[in-house]
Structure 1
Amino acid sequence: MDEPYVAELVGLLVEVTGEEPAAIGPHTRLDADLLLESVELARLNDLVVRRHGDGADIVRHVATLSLDELIELTVGDLARHVATHAGVPAR
């Protein structure tokens, strides 16, 4: 279920960060591995929301995480979030 979303997020992260696609997979951590900056997260979020609606808002999701959860957040975790919330109106 999450695989198409992982592939999509990998493509979007390549676009946002300039990383090589081979360097990004479902277990890639946004903070520790990609060193994703807040501006890049905001850009990624904008692209995801445009494609999947406000319910898939990544920034809103990240804001609910503890520091430890945020540090360990992976592409696969985001894919599950998007898969679960795609097309769902924001609350």
Structure 2
Amino acid sequence: MQGAARVTSKGQITIPNSIREEFGIEKGDDLVFYKGLDGRMRVRVRKMRKGAGSRSVHWPDAPKGAEAVRDVVEAAVMDARTKADRAEISE
């Protein structure tokens, strides 16, 4: 699955419908952008659980093996950084 989006002067993009459908991206979901261990940009979809106040990371067709372990570690590090940043802002 592949798609393209142009960045506007305000830094906004429109995610192609085919990408939104493939990855279950809905209105209100957050996209978390971060640099992977290989230096490439990575994106995670963060969805609000139905009826809950916490968020979970969702990635369909998660890779298996060493790549899966690396991705899980990267996501955990990113979540920890996000929580630390939010805590720092609220102080």
TM-score for both structures, normalised by structure 2: 0.29
TM-score for both structures, normalised by structure 1: 0.29
Looking at secondary structure, tell me which structure has more helix per residue. Answer: 1
Looking at secondary structure, tell me which structure has more strand per residue. Answer: 2
Instruction: Identify which of structures 1 and 2 has the higher relative contact order when contacts are C-alpha pairs closer than 8 Å and 6+ apart.
Output: 1
